[in-house]
Structure 1
Amino acid sequence: MPESLTVKSVNARLAEELEVGESQVAAAVRLLDEGSTVPFIARYRKEATGSLDDGQLRTLEERLQYLRELDARRAAVLASIEEQGKLTDELRAALLAADTKSRVEDIYLPYKPKRRTKAQIAREAGLEPLADRLLADPTPVPQDVAAEFVGGEVASPEAALDGARHILTERVAEDAELVGAVREKFWSNGSLRTAPWNDEVAKSPAAQKFRDYFEFSEPLDAMPSHRVLAVMRGEKEEVLALTFDGGDDAGYHAMIAATLGVDMAAASAATKWLVGTVEWAWRTKLMISARVDARVRLRKRAEEEAVAVFARNLKDLLLAAPAGNRTTLGLDPGFRTGVKVAVVDGTGKVVDTATIYPHQPQRQWDSAKSVLAALVARHGVELIAVGNGTASRETDALAAELIADIRAAGAEAPAKAMVSEAGASVYSASAYAARELPTLDVTLRGAVSIARRLQDPLAELVKIEPKSIGVGQYQHDVTPGTLARSLDAVVEDAVNAVGVDLNTASVPLLARVSGVSETLAEAIVAYRDKTGPFRNRKALLEVPRLGAKAFEQCAGFLRIRGGDDPIDASGVHPEAYPVVRRILDRSGITLAELIGNERALRSLKPGEFADDRFGVPTVTDILAELEKPGRDPRPAFTTATFAAGVEKIADLKVGMVLEGVVTNVAAFGAFVDVGVHQDGLVHVSAMADRFVSDPHEVVRSGQVVRVKVVDVDVDRQRIGLSLRLNDTPQRDKAKRPERGTPPRKPRRDKDSGRRSTPPAGSMADALRKAGFGK
């Protein structure tokens, strides 16, 4: 371990950041280093970590990696400077005190090997004494002093002064304290201005989605993630030109002058030259680096916020209520190519498929309904899942009419629900889908996925790359690696929070279980196919390449229902089975009598069964598991009922109260599907009768909500909704400008006093034009 940070100091810093005990951090770090996963540590090592939850552990894991990378870089920098023979005690102390990677790089800048610069050439020509003399005594005329240095490679006094200027410019550009101060000042005082790439581009149809940013400015430290990513996408598409403005240059000039020791107000002969050097250093070095730093920082912050939004939405979607093991008919809507139909039984097995053509141009409505009726009767269909893509509303109407006909005939009719299609096409064309459904056409696989999503969203969505699920905010503009790491963690936490049926789980689902790799998941399924269902958890150890460590990590999250030991159906880890036996011995009843016996279990005191290995937190969890073995943390299944006769935006009327499903939650509000092919926006200001800073406080993806229509723009395909059902259109319109009104006056930033102009119209306008949402 490098000398800059010992293990103890890393742990101390992590403890301070997480506001927990250092011993908790030390235990978590040790467990992570030993190969334990976050879900395992959070669930089964509560005594060691003091019950750190998965969120705290994810943060700890990320920060631990950063601090260790910082440590390694610091060690490399120290070694490099020492090798150059330039490492002083003061420099060592500064590096040891550096707490960020950028600070280490700032300090290292003067010693970093680089190509031969103009300043180095000037030093080699012997011009550094000239620069120092002009700084020390600005009273002589610069040309006169410079004339003393003419000769050799220095052709004239002007050339000598140019070399001296390059030396001083590099000196301030490599001053760690100054660079850091300039960076922070630029960030706190700076703004981002946007304009069309050029006049010709501004007139093109493709540029119109960015037109709200043709004259736009906003403070860097206040600009929200979605606007940052929107304008950067506009720049990437060569529609927008971005300018990072640090504010008044005078303040930066003063900082540079102070570093050099230049009195910019002095009436000395060299003052003009020195002031020019200060301005040159700002314009050619520090301003450029400050702009680069601001861009990197702005994008990093925007990406972090965008990834956080995506992660929250993905978690909500993965943990959406499952309909359960009921025979389901999936409908993948379409016009010309028809509606693809698949029936899956309670285990998700495909039992029938078809293609119907109820819509234009074929319009075989009655024939299509007959086919569906026959499938429902033949297979005892309990649920109908309708994909929410093209022709979804028309297909939903077909399903509704079918259900009405069945009820009219005196039979029990299935229920229907709209299901998100996001990522279904990705799954259909995937290699896994080809292996899982080899006899089905690619188009029919989508209907199968839609049906299974209703039965168990988590089990089906894990088969799709998380970023393809489509509940993100500008996810395609985020660095892929950053997004993937965060979303993979969300999926892992969700899967392990719910638990996995060992005898029915697919390879993709098993591969998300703590300690199980994709290769190991394939081995488990292969063993299961060869030997039959697992009867107990211990049998896992017979799977090739599944060793003791993998068993420790995964066993508690794998459920075996109807096996040899009822405890195997619970979240109790096999290592804690002795505690269950101890509880049974002291209770004097059998396991069958104890499981599910709420009165008996709640009368027990966890402390009476704790020991040195299994403390009160673990025993408390064991008792909870015995009360409801294998409990599912997901909510109860419900469906939204779309209003009859409301099938397109033109059918919407201001003041309508409708039921809908939240499809996406962003920093500025939530999108809701009310059954008209176009999601409506509930702006964050219309979510509650109180201030809401984060829409996730109020709604989550997949939630069924009732909303009031407060704004309808048929031409622009935009719908304004409110969760405040007592709102009136007049109240709403008084709170925000009408569509198409002139841009609002620039607002003054409360901290800096500078003005920034937000886009005209609602926030949804700008984001939709930039390609966000449907």
Structure 2
Amino acid sequence: MTSSPAVKTVNARLTAELAVAESQVAAAVRLLDEGSTVPFIARYRKEVTGSLDDGQLRTLEERLTYLRELDARRTAVLASIEEQGKLTDDLRTALLTAETKSRIEDVYLPYKTKRRTKAQIAREAGLEPLADRLLADPTLVPEEVAAGFLADGVADTAAALDGARQIIIERASENAELVGSVRAKFWADGAVRTAPASDAVAASAAAQKFRDYFDFSEPLEKMPSHRVLAVMRGEKEQVLSLTFDGGDDAVYQAMVAQALGIDLSGPGAATAWLATTVRFAWRVKLMVSASVDARIRLRQRAEEDAVAVFARNLKDLLLAAPAGTRTTLGLDPGFRTGVKVAVVDGTGKVLDTCAIFPHQPQRQWDAAKATLAALVARHGVQLIAIGNGTASRETDALATELVTEIRAAGAQAPATAMVSEAGASVYSASAYAAHELPDLDVTLRGAVSIARRLQDPLAELVKIEPKSIGVGQYQHDVTPGTLARSLDAVVEDAVNAVGVDLNTASVPLLARVSGVTDSLAEAIVSHRERTGRFPSRKALLEVPRLGPKAFEQCAGFLRITDGDDPLDASGVHPESYPVVRRILDRAGVTLAELIGDERSLRSLRPAEFADDRFGIPTVTDILAELEKPGRDPRPAFTTATFAAGVEKVSDLKVGMILEGVVTNVAAFGAFVDVGVHQDGLVHVSAMADRYVSDPHEVVKSGQVVRVKVLEVDVDRQRIGLTLRLKDAPPREQGRKSERGGGAAGAPRGDKPHQGQPDKRNTNGGKRTERRNEAPTAGSMAQALRDAGFGR
């Protein structure tokens, strides 16, 4: 027997994939296995892992799970084949060197227990020798050879030859090397083709949003995620039919013939029969399985891209600037049902609620304004938060008029801000909202949520299922489990990056803290309500079921202001407090004197305080925390001012320069709310005076930006914008191109945008990049059609 191949361990494979030292991987894996969380490891175990960041650790954690599942499946398959007595050295080698789950399943397929196939029935009828003889000697006459295999269940030569063909087809479909080669070539050379599901469907009004895909084709490898999910949604809604074309059938048939040892050009009498068998093997088995695999792979890649876009936008939204502990009045706009109003104090406690009816059909404008003025005066309102849904601009006009009148009277007027209300209705009807605000009607809970979102977006948004927040790209078309895992990680990282006030945090917020489960979060709040505020982090250990491990994982991310120990308000972990004491002893000052003393702290050398347990990275972080204890990584609070008189799409004019808020960032551009109930698109080619490969390089969700209107389509409620305020509107030929340009069978605007890199242009082997130019109306319209989201 030959020796088994050297198989890489999981840690070795992770080391190669992450391009880091194996010692770093081993340390991170050990910590994860011991129950440590990614935020804890990234923040408080830098010397152990060699300062792997949270992104690297998330990738490591995900791949670790996959590779362990891969090894478990490998072991099970080896055991199954060995139990059958069919495990050869070649099979063992093939399985031990398999690097994907699909490769393992390809190798295992011939040995997997399966229902009786036509090939199996043919073998039972004794037809396998017939198949072997025809494969071995194509000079034989098939009908003559088959005549010797007639028996019970094999009525004639046609039945015998069909059985032999089924056996050969199954051999081809279970040849792991052939299947892998066909799959790879199909993916590299194949394309998706779409058409209307039927002529009747194509003529329906509901199908018009997919009309750009009625005659569409795109290579599998190049198709972007948003188009993949768009055509798959069209198929799901029974508007489109999708086919997967791998290219030239003759090439694949030649691959099948070679794997079976068949010479398709040979002169033998059986050659024609064998060629037909090869064609059947390709068309009936291998092409079908390659198409299924391509569909799965295409969707998986599209989902990964869509999840990455959603995760990036969600992170930006969660880490948006908080307005802080200011008394805030929240307005949840509406027409017929009125505008719901809630006033909350600086801690988010509800002070007052009501409903006003300034808009149609009631039109109680002055009465509504008077009610708001009374609430502002009574509670000292400093901020007015307005939900950005239906009737938002009309409600904003009411608030603006109120603020103007308050200022005219010589009083201090509150500032106004538009707030995304995505997911507010989900929160309002949730069990937690009912528990948190039991005495409020569901509609009024939405106004409370809007007010609190302005005060602290992170603390309020964690109460809502992440996918309901509405900053994704086709998020409802993504596998729920895949989306949930990624978004939960984003929320966890965001919460722990900011830190949580232990004495005010809600159960949902605490449940996102490293090491804190839902039940433990409830126990913490119950203990707080029963015994009063926590005087120190150490007091957490008095909470039932909160043991040393949970304390280790969560303590550094929890903040206590005005507690027994000033360090409890910082990001310094309690385990590191002895290091701070050594620093104080060396500096000869008190903690109160050292905290915030930038000059003194920067004069200290971290290496002087490092030891075997706390290395230089940890000491460096401690000094940074002492310089700005409990610092919030989120930006300063700002608001956008929408232009007066611009309230609907028809109010927009080409050339206008407006202020707006980025609501969503996709692979092809960013959507911006300019206050007209319909987001406009800034295409990636209109973002900067340079090539932009990822819109996130330029903008992020929640950012206030100035944009110029390039195009307005009132009928289809589409708005084209640019961040380059000197851009001229699209030229006339651009509009003509949008109406009818483009090559047949290709989506308009699908070519590289002007100014994007042209890989065919070279200069000494280097890619030439040109400055982005203004997008044409055609490219803008195509990008909008691709988007499939926005309000």
For 2:686, the equivalent position in structure 1 comes to: 686
Deviation of 1:152 after TM superposition, in Å, equals: 2.9
Aligned partners of 2:524 and 2:543 also within 8 Å: yes
Write the distance in 1 (CA, Å) between the matches of 2:340 and 2:743. Answer: 48
Matching residue's letter, 1:614: F
Following the alignment from structure 2 to structure 1, what is the Cα–Cα distance between the partners of residues 544 and 736?
A: 65
1:488 aligns with 2:506: no
Q: Does 1:773 align with 2:790?
A: yes
Please say if 1:697 is aligned against 2:697. yes
Match of 1:127 in 2: 127
- C-alpha displacement at 1:128, in angstroms? 1.4
Partner of residue 475, structure 1: 475
In 1: Cα distance, 2:621 partner to 2:657 partner = 43
Is the 1:210–1:766 Cα contact (8 Å) retained in structure 2?
no
Q: Which structure has more RCO (C-alpha within 8 Å, separation ≥ 6)? A: 1
| Conservation of the 8 A alpha-carbon contact between 2:336 and 2:359 | yes
What is the CA deviation profile of residues 237-275 of structure 1, one whole-angstrom value per residue up to 9, with x for unaligned ones?
111111111111011001001001111111221111111
Shift of 1:741: 3.0
Alpha-carbon offset, residue 762 of structure 1? 4.3
Distance in 2, matches of 1:90 and 1:437, equals 66
Displacement of 1:773 in angstroms is 1.6
Return the offset for 1:738.
5.2
Partner of 1:552: 552
Q: Distance in 2 between matches of 1:215 and 1:90?
A: 47
Q: List aligned pairs for 1:74-153, cutoff 5 A.
A: 74-153=74-153
Q: How far off is 1:203 after superposition?
A: 1.3
Matched letter for residue 290 of structure 1: A
Q: How does 1:17-416 map to 2 (within 5 A)?
A: 17-416=17-416
Specify whether residues 309 and 171 from structure 1 end up closer, same or farther in structure 2 by C-alpha distance, changes over 3 A only: same
In 2, distance between residues paired with 1:313 and 1:48? Answer: 31
Cα distance in 2 for partners of 1:361, 1:5 equals: 79
Contact 1:210–1:769, Cα closer than 8 Å, also in 2: no
For 1:493 and 1:763, the matched residues in 2 are separated by 35
Q: Secondary structure at the match of 1:740?
A: helix
- How far is 1:160 from its partner? 1.3
Say whether the 8 Å CA contact 2:333–2:386 is kept in structure 1. yes
Paired with 1:341 and 1:631, the residues of 2 have a C-alpha distance of 33
**TM-score, normalised relative to structure 1:** 0.96
Contact 1:668 1:763 in 2 (8 A): no
d(CA) in 2 for partners of 1:704, 1:602: 34
Residue 763 of structure 1 and its aligned partner are, at CA, apart by 6.2
Q: Is the 2:215–2:745 contact (alpha carbons within 8 Å) kept by the matching residues of 1?
A: no
Q: Which amino acid aligns with 1:680?
A: G
Q: Are 2:677 and 1:660 aligned?
A: no
Give the secondary structure class of the aligned counterpart of 1:247: coil
**Which runs of 5 or more residues in structure 1 are unaligned?**
754-758
Gaps of 5+ in 2: 753-757, 761-775
Task: Name the SS for the 1:706 alignment partner.
Answer: strand
Counting only pairs closer than 5 Å after superposition, residues 568-587 of structure 1 correspond to structure 2 as: 568-587=568-587
- Which residue is 2:773 aligned to? none
Q: Does the CA contact (< 8 Å) of 2:720 and 2:780 recur in 1?
A: no
Give the conservation status (yes or no) of the 8 Å contact 1:109–1:174. Answer: yes
Q: Does the 8 Å contact 1:226/1:767 carry over to 2?
A: no
1:756 matched residue in structure 2: none
Q: Give the number of equivalent residue pairs.
A: 765
Residues in 1 aligned to 2:736 and 2:56: alpha-carbon distance in whole angstroms: 42
The Cα offsets for residues 303-359 of structure 1, whole Å up to 9 and x where unpaired, read as: 111110000000000000000000111110000111011111101111011111111
Q: Is the 8 A contact 1:212 1:760 kept in 2?
A: no
User: What amino acid does structure 1 have at the position aligned with 2:339?
Assistant: V
Question: Using the alignment, how far apart are the partners of 2:291 and 2:456 within structure 1?
Answer: 48
User: Per-residue deviation at 1:151?
Assistant: 2.5
Aligned residue in 2 for 1:618: 618
Go from structure 1 to structure 2 and tell me whether the alpha carbon gap of 1:694 and 1:458 turns closer, same or farther (over 3 Å shift): same
Question: Which residue in 2 is equivalent to 1:741?
Answer: 740
Whether contact under 8 Å (2:734, 2:778) holds in the other structure is: no
Aligned residue runs from structure 1 range 535-546, under 5 A: 535-546=535-546
- Counterpart of 1:640, as a letter, is A
Q: Give the Å deviation of 1:760.
A: 11
Q: Is the 8 A contact 1:570 1:626 kept in 2?
A: yes
Instruction: Give the distance between the partners of 1:762 and 1:336, measured in 2 at CA.
Output: 39
C-alpha deviations, 1:705-762, integer Å up to 9, x for none? 010100001111110000111100046x6667654334545569999x9xxxxx9954
Deviations for 1:437-477, whole angstroms, at most 9, x for unmatched residues?
11111101000000000000000000000010000101101
Q: CA deviation at 1:432?
A: 0.5
Q: Following TM superposition, by how much is the alpha carbon of 1:131 offset from its aligned partner in structure 2, in angstroms?
A: 1.2
Q: 1:320 to 1:253 in 2, by over 3 A?
A: same
TM-superposed CA distance for 1:766, in Å, is: 7.0
- Residue in structure 2 matched with residue 501 of structure 1 by the alignment: 501
How far, CA to CA, are the matches of 1:704 and 1:741 in structure 2?
A: 36
Q: Deviations over 1:88-119 (max 9, x none)?
A: 11110110000100000000011011111111
CA RMSD after TM alignment = 2.0
Query: What percent of counterpart residues are identical?
Result: 81
Question: Contact between 2:711 and 2:777, CA under 8 Å: does it hold in 1?
Answer: no
Q: Is the 8 A contact 1:209 1:766 kept in 2?
A: no
AA partner of residue 218 (structure 2): E
Q: What is the deviation of 1:424?
A: 0.2
Q: Cα–Cα, structure 1 residues 530 and 764, in superposed 2: closer, same or farther, change >3 Å?
A: farther
| Residue 599 in structure 1 maps to residue 607 in structure 2 | no
Equivalent position amino acid for 1:741 in 2: G
Aligned with 1:485: secondary structure?
helix
Equivalent residue, structure 2, for 1:446: 446
Query: Does the 8 Å CA contact 2:226/2:786 hold for their aligned counterparts?
Result: no
Task: Return closer, same or farther for 1:555/1:34 CA change in 2, 3 Å cut-off.
Answer: same
Q: Following the alignment from structure 1 to structure 2, what is the Cα–Cα distance between the partners of residues 264 and 306?
A: 45
Give the aligned partner of residue 455 of structure 1: 455
**More displaced 10-residue stretch of structure 1: 741-750 or 523-532:** 741-750
Q: Please tell me whether the aligned partners of residues 5 and 71 of structure 1 are also in contact (alpha carbons under 8 angstroms).
A: no
Cα drift, residue 204 of structure 1: 1.4
* Matching residue of 2:766: none
1:723 and 2:723 are equivalent in the alignment: yes
Paired letter, 1:552: E
Give the Cα–Cα distance (whole angstroms) in 2 for the partners of residues 227 and 670 of structure 1.
16
Q: For residues 730 and 86 of structure 1, what CA distance do their matches in structure 2 show? A: 68
Tell me what 2:644 maps to.
Answer: 644
**Tell me, what secondary structure is at the counterpart of 2:152?**
coil
Is the contact between residue 710 and residue 721 of structure 1 (CA under 8 Å) also seen in structure 2? yes
Measure the CA separation in 2 of the matches of 1:676 and 1:590: 56
In 2, Cα distance between equivalents of 1:593 and 1:443: 50
Counterpart of 2:434 in structure 1 is 434
Superimposed CA distance per residue, residues 692-713 of structure 1 (whole angstroms, 9 cap, x where no aligned partner):
1111111100000010100001
Distance 1:511 1:7 in 2: 40
Whether the 8 Å contact between 2:81 and 2:111 is mirrored in structure 1 is yes
Structure 2 CA distance, aligned partners of 1:670 and 1:532? Answer: 46
The 3-state SS of whatever aligns with 1:148 is helix
Distance 1:285 1:671, change over 3 A: same
Residue 524, structure 1, aligned to residue 541, structure 2? no
Give the Cα separation in 2 of the matches to 1:6 and 1:495. 43
Counterpart CA distance in 1 for 2:521 and 2:5 is 39
**Secondary structure of residue in 2 paired with 1:360:** coil
